[in-house]
Amino acid sequence: MRERLSGNEAAAIAMKQINPDVVAAFPITPSTEIPQYFSTFVSNGTVDTEFVAVESEHSAMSACIGAQAAGGRAMTATSANGLSLMWEMIYIASSLRLPIVMSLVNRAVSGPLNIHNDHSDAMGVRDSGWIQLFSENNQEAYDNLIMAHRIAEHSDVLLPLMVCQDGFITSHSIENIELIEDENVKNFVGTYKPEHYLLNDKEPIAIGPLDLQGYLFEHKTQQSMAMRNAKKVILDVASDFEKMTGRKYGFFEEYKMEDAELVVVCMNSTAGTAKYTADKLRDQGIKAGVLKVRVFRPFPAEEIANALKKAKAVAVLDKADSLNAVGGALFEDVTSGMFVHKIQVPTINYVYGIGGRDTTSTDIESVYNDLREIAKTGEIENPYRYLGVRGCK
């Protein structure tokens, strides 16, 4: 079923087809349209979801926690400062092992105030115990949401999951998209049947009790093991999804990586620009490739390291600055994985696109040009760089 939809519309339609028990949300740019579109489905009876219009994002996540703990399937959407206001409840959702699904439309976190795209919101909660899937385009945002519940609700996982897409760049841009038939989505996602839940009168339980020295360490370790388990589940669900749609997903996408010597690693919509640039350089005889990370949590360190081992130089692009003086979050994870698995390739980091700063193919080409020089000598003068910012390299 072919349609022309924005990323926000695609997310809302995925939610409609999933038909969760509860959606709780508070509007914030650029994710506002998702609950707005979804509320029309509630109003016209297309879904039988209980839509909760709350007074803040903290309340939105609290309502989702309550609904999921009671035995329902809960979803929400937010961006930037909205996610920040949820921060306390984000950790509680994951520690209670509640497979809530969120559509996160990535936007710069204040301050100063900026409503445009970077990844500072997702990076702020990257270690909170949520699975994080990133989406290059509207199709991928839709597909990731269809797969999300199957991943999050798996008995070996039971962790919340956020599907990320770039604010305005994909959320408000209209693209052709292949939708799945409603009945096929229903069968694929399945019915949520939790083993333990508050409204089960045959098993009285407490949710969120005091957890002191005797047990907290073990419970946190169980969360960590669940995140590791998610790797296999993500691939298993993607395999079933491919059988249904023909669309193939993995931990990451390798674009012209078979013989690539110069590789750019990036996430979300930037991958499209990087692929275009790689094609242009290939026409000039330059062996350029792109590795687009789709699964950021759990981080596929060994798999990415192996994918990069034949390169002569690698650039990792971070659309958020960790403000730690040693590079962005994606760079840290990529280089850590390479080091642990004894793969030595000269690797540099570029922080780019902060606050929605446009990143053009010319910018990406300059990265490849830097990689060409590094590949010749194997030497890196400065591994921590900025792309497209005035007065700094």
Q: What would the mean pLDDT of 92-107 be, rounded to a whole number?
A: 98
376 and 326 in a common domain = yes
Structure tokens at 328: 């962005």
212 and 78 in a common domain = yes
Average pLDDT of the chain to the nearest whole number: 97
Q: Is residue 392 a part of any domain in this protein?
A: no
In order of 60, 144, 197, the CA distances from 101 in angstroms are 12, 11, 17
264 and 206 in a common domain = no
What is the spatial distance between Cα 281 and Cα 273, in angstroms, rounded to a whole number? Answer: 12
Note whether 386 and 352 are within 8 A (CB): yes
Helix (H) or strand (E) segment spanning residue 105: strand 101-106
Note whether 231 and 303 are within 8 A (CB): no
Is the pLDDT assigned to residue 393 strictly greater than 70? no
306 and 233 in a common domain = no
Domain boundary among 212, 245, 278: 245
pLDDT the model gives residue 1: 87
Q: Which CATH number covers residue 281?
A: 3.40.50.920
293 and 168 in a common domain = no
70 and 122 in a common domain = yes
Higher pLDDT, 391 or 94: 94
pLDDT the model gives residue 391: 82
The two most distant CA atoms of the chain are separated, in Å, by 69
227 and 125 in a common domain = yes
Domain that holds residue 157: 2-245
Three-class secondary structure of residue 125 per DSSP: coil
Domain total of the chain: 2
Note whether 23 and 15 are within 8 A (CB): yes
Q: Is residue 95 a part of any domain in this protein?
A: yes
- At 308-319, the pLDDT tens digits run 999 999 999 999
Q: Is residue 393 a part of any domain in this protein?
A: no
266 and 239 in a common domain = no
Nearest to 234, CA basis, from 141, 146, 151: 151
218 and 181 in a common domain = yes
30 and 167 in a common domain = yes
35 and 17 in a common domain = yes
Q: Which CATH number covers residue 176?
A: 3.40.50.970
Domain boundary among 245, 274, 289: 245
278 and 233 in a common domain = no
- At 35-81, the pLDDT tens digits run 999 999 999 999 999 999 999 999 999 999 999 999 999 999 999 99
Domain boundary among 211, 245, 279: 245
Which are the contacts of 284, defined by CB distance < 8 A and separation ≥ 6?
none
